[in-house]
Structure 1
Amino acid sequence: MSSIFETKVESETLTSDELASITGCTRRHDQVAWLKSNGWVYHLKRNGEPVVGRLYARLKLAGVNPASFAPAAPWVPDFSKLS
């Protein structure tokens, strides 16, 4: 019995259909080429299938550069002033 309050839990990564929709390509090799040429961050499964994070894709499609959220350089404490 289905409830109107049930929600579909999405995976943290895009499905192959979603990736094909974004890239316009169904072949893995072509998807990887599109991702690379458009500056997307992705990982490859052992079988060569590209994996793209859902949040990353949402930010990219919204025109937000996800790299802008990363700090430019890690903070390191300055102990030189301690005696």
Structure 2
Amino acid sequence: MRFPEDKCDFEGNTEGIGPRDYPKGKIARSILYMIWKYNLPDHGLRPLMLKWNKKFPTTKEEQWRNKQIQQIQNNKNCFIKNKT
């Protein structure tokens, strides 16, 4: 799989490694939805996921996909904020 600018899909620093910035919002909204929908344990990730969700806004692609899922399955990810 290729990533934007042919760069690696994660970064490292003194705190450890994690995803690059561009997917953090999508990752956060996916994880938050799964925790909420299926009552899964958050393993202490909820504060970080809420921070990423706020810092990295919903993309047009996410909004489009969420609308398609809602039409087909009659449910949506409540963490994806539609701007249209």
Q: Does TM-score exceed 0.5, indicating one fold?
A: no
Bigger Rg over Cα: 1
Structure that is richer in strand per residue: 2
TM range (shorter): under 0.3
TM-score (norm 1): 0.24
